[in-house]
Amino acid sequence: MINFDDELDKGQESYNQAVGQWWLGQADDRSHAIAYKKIAKEIRRFCKHEPETILDFACGGGQLLAELAKLFPKSKFIGVDGSHKMLAKAKERVPQATFIETYLPDFKLKQKADLVIFCFPNIAPGEDCQGFYNKHGYMHPQDAKVAKYLSEAKDPEEEDTEDPEELYDDLLTDKVISRNLRQLSKPGGICVRVTYSNAKREELSKLGQMRTNFEEGCLSLPVDGAKAEQLFSFEESVYKPSKVILDVYHQTEDEDDKTGGYFISFLRAV
Ligand SMILES: C[S@@+](CC[C@H](N)C(=O)[O-])C[C@H]1O[C@@H](n2cnc3c(N)ncnc32)[C@H](O)[C@@H]1O
């Protein structure tokens, strides 16, 4: 049994230890193998041209990069991750790719990609990181105002209500990560996000969709008189039922997280 809360407090180091051991088992099972193939196929369908550079943000053991390399033989691949244990596996799987070991988000990275991917996210910010996040947009006044509204609003379509303070923190923390994804994207480039979910994106409550759009930096409408900083525009989303949702169940032990799958969202850097 892993105490995920305690382990993930160790930041990127957590994926070199017990959480990393757990993830290697998960990511190599049958449902993940099928998911990586399907995600790569959807990305191939969406991309009209073969991207020059594909960057996988928090690439883990490189399973998705390996599938993409089969479909985009001419592209240049970059994998970025904070765990040397994950990167050792990724290097074996995709020897032609360039790998960078770094704490994420990392605003010092100079790479610019035509396609940036963020798949099955579980960024462990680590303790004492608030100052770093504050420096990189957590305190953005308009974003803070929108996040306050979105975290305190009662959702008429949802029975369970989340703690507004936790929600506020999650919204702004995720937005900082999206800023990094935008910085790594060429203007007009594609960003693909693969998100665990119990429902299709368009079936989320209206408020749930606004929160997702905010976190991803693609909320285009003003909220409560404030306009969040827009980083991407939303293009489309595809839902796939899958047992990969059990990754979430292992961490939350919430029965609702035993069923679902993931949605693949296609965004465009603005
Ligand atoms: C759930 S795994 C997903 C891996 C990969 N995207 C995939 O779909 O197979 C999360 C990944 O994020 C990385 N990670 C988590 N927190 C990090 C941080 N603060 N900095 C860098 N990498 C981090 C872990 O090392 C791990 O490889």
pLDDT tens-digit readout, 170-221: 999 999 999 999 999 999 999 999 999 999 999 999 999 999 999 999 999 9
Residues 6+ apart with CB under 8 A from 164: 151, 152
Question: Residue 55's domain is classified under what CATH number?
Answer: 3.40.50.150
- At 42 the pLDDT is 98
- At 135 the pLDDT is 97
- At 1 the pLDDT is 84
Residue nearest to atom 4 of ligand 1 (CA): 60
160, pLDDT greater than 80: no
- At 27 the pLDDT is 98
- At 23 the pLDDT is 97
Q: How far apart are CA 175 and CA 133, in angstroms?
A: 10
Read off the pLDDT of residues 59-106 as tens digits, 9 standing for 90 and up. Answer: 999 999 999 999 999 999 999 999 999 999 999 999 999 999 999 999
Read off the pLDDT of residues 3-62 as tens digits, 9 standing for 90 and up. Answer: 999 999 999 999 999 999 999 999 999 999 999 999 999 999 999 899 999 999 999 999
Residue nearest to atom 9 of ligand 1 (CA): 60
Residue 265, number of CB atoms within 10 A of its CB: 22
Ligand 1 centroid, distance to 79 Cα (angstroms): 11
- At 138 the pLDDT is 98
Q: Which atom of ligand 1 is nearest to 16's Cα?
A: 25
Copy the structure tokens of residue 136: 């990189």
255, pLDDT greater than 80: yes
Q: Which atom of ligand 1 is nearest to 63's Cα?
A: 9
Q: How far apart are CA 18 and CA 85, in angstroms?
A: 11
Calculate the alpha carbon distances from 24 to 21, 164, 165 in Å: 5, 33, 32
Find the residues whose C-beta lies inside 6 A of ligand 1: 11-12, 15, 23, 27, 58-60, 63-64, 81-83, 86, 103-104, 119-120, 122-125
Ligand 1 centroid, distance to 159 Cα (angstroms): 31
In the three-class reduction of DSSP (H, G, I as helix; E, B as strand; rest coil), residue 14 is classed as helix
- At 157 the pLDDT is 87
Residue 241, number of CB atoms within 10 A of its CB: 13
Q: What is the extent of the structural domain holding 104?
A: 4-269
Residue nearest to atom 12 of ligand 1 (CA): 58
Copy the structure tokens of residue 132: 């770093």
Ligand 1 centroid, distance to 121 Cα (angstroms): 7
In the three-class reduction of DSSP (H, G, I as helix; E, B as strand; rest coil), residue 4 is classed as helix
Cβ(210)–Cβ(146) below 8 Å? no
Helices vs. strands in the chain: H and E counts, helices first = 10, 7
Q: How far apart are CA 95 and CA 77, in angstroms?
A: 10
- At 162 the pLDDT is 86
Q: How far apart are CA 45 and CA 160, in angstroms?
A: 37
Q: Which of 113, 5, 140 is nearest to 59 (CA)?
A: 113
The count of domains in the chain is: 1
DSSP 41-89: HHHHHH-SS--SEEEEET-TTSHHHHHHHHH-TT-EEEEEES-HHHHHH
